[in-house]
Structures are given as structure tokens and as C-alpha cells.
Chains A and B, each alone.
Chain A
């Protein structure tokens, strides 16, 4: 009898495994053909010279000439890479804080929540494409060129004056003023992240909050000991998403430089530009994963 049940269990397990492959085999195929293969191909292209002619596509391996070209003969490329990497460190923490604050503000029961949420998710619609970049370039020049006075123009508030008034250490002041000068951009880019964090907040069982309340924790303690540990997984996703978003945005200098190279049919050089930059981005993401594994998973165990 027991033996029979065991046998039946195993067969269900086998059956379910078959079902899984049924659902996933097209995806696995697509993953190889339309994702992994193009990636390898594109890395190979960065070491090659490609031409698209009448007899099809011809590629020829040339070694690291492309990398030599971008690093030695185009000095502004390296500066742009540094700038783009710096941009990650400026934008991503700010986006994280903004989306966290927005998610906490929008979450919960209050009058007009549908209106406010509707308003705050709107940037998701507008700010994911070329529109944002066009808007920023034109609006910022419009303010000066069209002689619109400063206070009424694109800069609503003179942030710099406020900052110097606060007398902060110069490095912090620099960071804040940089972040504030891009405040529209950053708030607009926090849409999806806010959505993800709200979804994460909703997935924390009410029971945990109840326990915290019974134990007499205040709001601050509840946030750090109940909400935050359970949000870590969501936060990692949000961080990765933000980094990728900043890296593939239309405002990214490296990507536009590479695509200009593609337009000039210098495919190899463009690919080299992309992958040299991505190498550093990948290292940053890897470090974040390692920190997550080492610090958070150990500290809070599997529940985190």
C-alpha cells in the first residue's frame, strides 16, 4: 500500500516535470536563438570587421583592433564611459530613495489614493523613451534661449541658493545639487520601481505587522525590522532594473555613440564600445549580488 502511494507520487512528479518542459521548451529555444546566440555573436563582432553587401553578411576576425581604436584613438570615449558609470552611482541610489518614499506614501488607505496613484504611475507611460531626452534637451535650452526668466522657467526653485544656505560638506552638497538638477528626470524614472516596491509591500503578510504592534514597536522600528528585511529581494530586483534602465536609456551617451557608429557602418567598433562599457556595468551588478548574498541572506536567512 505504502509502496503504491510512493510510486504514484513519483509518477505525478515525472508528469509535472513533463508539463514544465511543455511550457518552457519554446522559451528555452527562443532564449538560445534570440538571446544567447545574439549576445555571443555581438561579442564576437566586437573583435571582428563586418560588412553587409550584396552577397550577404561577411565577418572577418581582426583581433582587438576595435578595442584599440576606441581606447586609444578616441579619447572622449573613455571619458564618456567614466561619466556614464558615475551617472549610475548618482542616479540609482536617488531613484531607490524616491521610489521607496513614493511607495510608502502611496501605499495604505487614504482618500484619493486612486487619483494619486494614477498620477504617480503616469511617468511610466511617458518617460521610458525618446520623449524624455527630447524634452530635457529642448526644455532646458528653451528656458535660456527664449529669455524666460529663471524663476518662472524650467528651474522652479533655485536649488543652489538653498543648498549653499544649508552649509553642508562640499562633497555632499555637490552630490545633492547634481541629483536635484536632474530631479525631473529621476522622479520620472522612478515609476516602475515604485510599482515594484508597492507590489513588494503588499506581499508582506498583515500578521507580521500585527505582531510588531503587539510587541510595541513604533513605526520606525516596524519599518526597519519588518518591512525592510522582507523587501530586500524586491529591492535587489529594483536596483538591477534601475541600473539597466539608466544604461539603456535614450539619454545614455555610450549607447548613442555606439549606434552612431552602426550608422557609419562601423559595426565592430560600435559593438566594442557597447561591450567594454557593459563589462563595468556587469561588474557593478555582480558586486551587488555578492553583497546581497554575503550580508543579507546570511543575516536574515531564507525568509529575507
Chain B
């Protein structure tokens, strides 16, 4: 066997040191990341008596699922979940598709006014939805495009303005036009990816006489399946959690889960349970939170491997 040179040994020692440091740091911070989740889980399956126990115990001796039943009722779980799926998840998938098309237009073609358009894209990243969701919701009562339909109404008496308030269109409409919830961010992620994607294949398609839309659908979109995983996860999560616009637009009827959870204090108060002072109220909230994040969490655990790999590919530039 050839004796390893001192330089090599030194190198190996450094890389070993880096790895040990890495694992220690990752474990310590990982504990911080996972701690609240465990805290919620253990808090919501313990009987109330055990909560008041001075000894803090991770795994309770008696497990009870009563709290989940209560949380189920407080959240009005199944109807609200149905609303969330039809309103927010459908909208998320519309956005995943539309944002790809917009980003493709941005990153593949040069056109007049590209600088201005990019500036507005940046602006859409910088003004969060809660800032203008009130006027969005007001507009939905009499859906109008820049007041044009209103002018038609006052001139001819023909009212074409629809009331889409309280319907799923309040999320779908912006998503269809690629300006939905945080779509600026999604467009940006797609753009980063398309920048690194070689354009030769698409040029070949043009030479063979394919139109731009066909090229996009059959060449560019299938090659971006890696980045789509990232975008789907982010879009679903952001839609799932959005509650400001939904709270303004759904005043009566079934509301999505995000609104139910953000206003869970209200029914709790009505039943004489005060958040923060009564352990039972807190544990109901923990159970509700777990119910609320359960579905995205399961989706994430299924997609996790693909998601992690997908992130590696997002930023690859040639």
C-alpha cells in the first residue's frame, strides 16, 4: 500500500472536520425546526390532566383523540376542506400552468417594453396581496374591467357586470391571467429555470414548422418537469394558507379552511373558551392546526424526494 502523503491526510482531516461540523449543526438546528411540530402533536393527543403535569413528557402514557373530534367540529372540516380544494387548489394548479407560459414569454423572446414589463413583475413581488385585497373583493361584487362595463351601463342601461363575490372565481380569475397569489415569485422561479434550458431543441421545432404554443406545450413544458415540482409545492402551500382575500370574499356560506383556522378564536370565545388562558382551548387549537397542515404535510412527504432534487435543478444555468 502506498503511504498517503501528509497533504492528503491534512485534506482528508479537513473534510472530515467539515462533515462533523455539518452534522452537528444540522442536528441542532433540525431540533429547532421539528420541535414545534412535536410540541403540537404531543399537546393534542394528551389528556387534559397530563397537560397540567409539571413533568413535560414527549410521549404521553394515555393517548386520546377526543380533541381531534372537537377540532373537526370547530373547523367544520369536511365542507371547508371541499371549499379549499375547489377554490384554492384548483387555482394553484391553474397558476402553475399559466405562470410557466408567462415566464416562457419573458425568458425566450425579446420585445419592445421588456424592461417595463420586468419592472412590473418586480413590483408584483413587492406589493403583497393583503395590501389590495379589499379593492379586489369590492370589484368582485360587480366584476368590471377598469370601469368599462360601468360606462356601458350608464350609457345604455345594459348591466354586464357579474357578481362573482362568494364564488370560486375570486381566486380563479387572477390565476387565469397569471397574477394570482405570489405568482410573481413563481414566474421568477420558472424564468431562472428557462434561462438555463438550452433553446436549440425549440429552435429545431420552429424550423420544422411548429408554432410557438405547440413548441411551448410539447418541448419546453415537458423538459421543465423538474422545476414544476418545486412550483407545485410552493403554489399549493401559498394558496392553502392564504386567508386575507378569502376572509373578505366569503362572508356567508362555506369558507375555506384557512379562514376557519385564522378565525378559530371566535367560535372558541362563543363557547366560553379563552385562548391563551385555558389549556383546553390551547389544545383544541393545536389539534386544529394539525388537522389544517395534515394534508399539505402528507403531500409534501410524498413529493419530498422529488422536491429536494427539483430544487437542485431550479438554478442550473448552462
When distances are taken between beta carbons in the complex, the residues of chain B under 8 Å from A19 are 105, 108-109, 212
Q: With both chains docked as a complex, state the minimum distance between the C-beta of A89 and any C-beta of chain B, in angstroms.
A: 18
**Nearest B residue (CB) for A59:** B138
- CB of A245, distance to nearest CB on chain B (Å): 8
B68 within 8 A of A: no
Q: Is the CB of A42 within 8 A of B134?
A: yes
Instruction: Decide if B125 touches A240 in the complex (CB within 8 Å).
Output: yes
Interchain CB contact under 8 A, A29 and B177: yes
B124-135 to A contact mask, C-beta < 8 Å, 1/0 = 111111111111
Note all chain A residues with C-beta closer than 8 A to B104: 23
Q: Digit string of A6-33 for contact with B (CB within 8 Å is 1, else 0)?
A: 0000000100110111111011111111
Minimum CB distance partner of B129 in chain A: A248
Interface size on A, residues (CB 8 A): 100
Binary interface encoding of chain B residues 267-288 relative to chain A, with 1 for a CB under 8 A from any of its CBs, else 0: 0000000011111011001101
Closest to B261 in A: A130
Measured between beta carbons, the chain A residues less than 8 angstroms from B196 are 203
CA distance A221 to B222 in the complex (A): 40
- Point out the residues of chain A lying under 8 angstroms from B244, CB to CB: 248, 255, 259
A33-B177 in contact (CB<8A)? yes
Bound Cα distance from A37 to B139, whole angstroms: 10
Residue B47 lies at the interface, judged by CB distance under 8 Å to chain A: no
- Give the nearest-CB partner of A16 in chain B: B109
Within 8 A of B (CB), among A200-224: 200-203, 205
Q: Is the interface of B mostly helix, strand, loop or mixed?
A: helix
CA distance A265 to B240 in the complex (A): 26
A33 to B188, CA, bound (A): 21
Chain B residue numbers with a CB within 8 Å of A282 are 126
CA distance A34 to B242 in the complex (A): 17
Q: A92 interface residue, CB < 8 Å from B?
A: no
Residues of A within 8 A of B142 (CB): 56-57
Complex interface: chain B residues within 8 A of A126 (CB)? 37, 293, 296-297
Is B233 on the interface with A (CB-CB < 8 A)? yes
- If A16-B109, A134-B285, A200-B315 touch, whether A38 touches B135 (CB-CB below 8 Å) is yes
Which one of A60-68, A77-85, A110-118, A165-173 contacts B? A110-118
- Complex interface: chain A residues within 8 A of B289 (CB): 131, 134-135
The minimal Cβ–Cβ distance linking B61 to chain A, given in whole angstroms, is 16
Q: Is A119 an interface residue (CB 8 A)?
A: yes
Chain B residues 118 to 165 lying within 8 A of chain A, measured CB to CB, are 120, 124-136, 138-139, 141-142, 145-146
Chain A proximity of B151: nearest CB distance (Å): 14
Docked complex: A176-201 residues within 8 A CB-CB of B: 183-184, 187-188, 192, 195, 198-201
Residue from A122, A241, A250 within 8 A of B243 (CB atoms): A250
The chain A residue sitting closest to B301, CB to CB, is A118
Q: Which of B98, B173, B308 contacts A118 (CB 8 A)?
A: B308
B241 at the binding interface (Cβ < 8 Å): yes
* B230 cross-chain contacts in A, Cβ below 8 A: 195
Interface set, chain B 36-94, CB cutoff 8 A to A: 36-37, 39-40, 43, 51-52, 54-56
Q: Please name all residues of chain A whose beta carbon is closer than 8 Å to the beta carbon of B25 when the two chains form the complex.
A: 101, 105
Once bound together, how far apart are the Cα atoms of A106 and B58, in whole Å? 28
Q: Does B225 contact A (CB under 8 A)?
A: no
* Chain B residues, Cβ within 8 Å of A47: none
**Is the CB–CB distance between B125 and A241 below 8 Å?**
yes
Task: State which of A27, A198, A274 has its C-beta within 8 Å of the C-beta of B179.
Answer: A27
Q: Given A125-B296, A129-B240, A130-B241, answer yes or no on A52-B141 (Cβ-Cβ < 8 Å).
A: yes
Q: Does A35 touch B at the CB level, under 8 Å? A: yes
Nearest CB of A to B53, in Å: 8
CA distance A23 to B97 in the complex (A): 12
Quick one: closest A residue to B18, CB to CB?
A219
20 A-B interface contacts by CB (under 8 A): A17-B111, A20-B108, A24-B117, A27-B179, A30-B179, A33-B177, A37-B146, A45-B135, A120-B33, A121-B300, A125-B293, A138-B275, A148-B56, A152-B55, A184-B35, A187-B33, A199-B315, A200-B315, A202-B313, A255-B244
Q: Please report B residues at the A interface, Cβ cutoff 8 Å.
A: 19, 22-23, 25-26, 29-30, 32-37, 39-40, 43, 51-52, 54-56, 98, 101-102, 104-106, 108-112, 114, 117, 120, 124-136, 138-139, 141-142, 145-146, 173-174, 176-179, 185, 188-189, 192, 196, 212-213, 216, 230, 233-234, 237-238, 240-244, 247-248, 258, 261-262, 264, 275-279, 281-282, 285-286, 288-289, 292-293, 296-297, 300-301, 304-305, 307-309, 311-317
The 6 A-B pairs of least Cβ separation, nearest first, read A30-B177, A23-B105, A129-B241, A199-B315, A20-B109, A152-B56
Known: A56-B141, A114-B304. 7 other contacts (CB 8 A): A27-B98, A45-B135, A146-B51, A183-B32, A184-B35, A241-B125, A255-B130
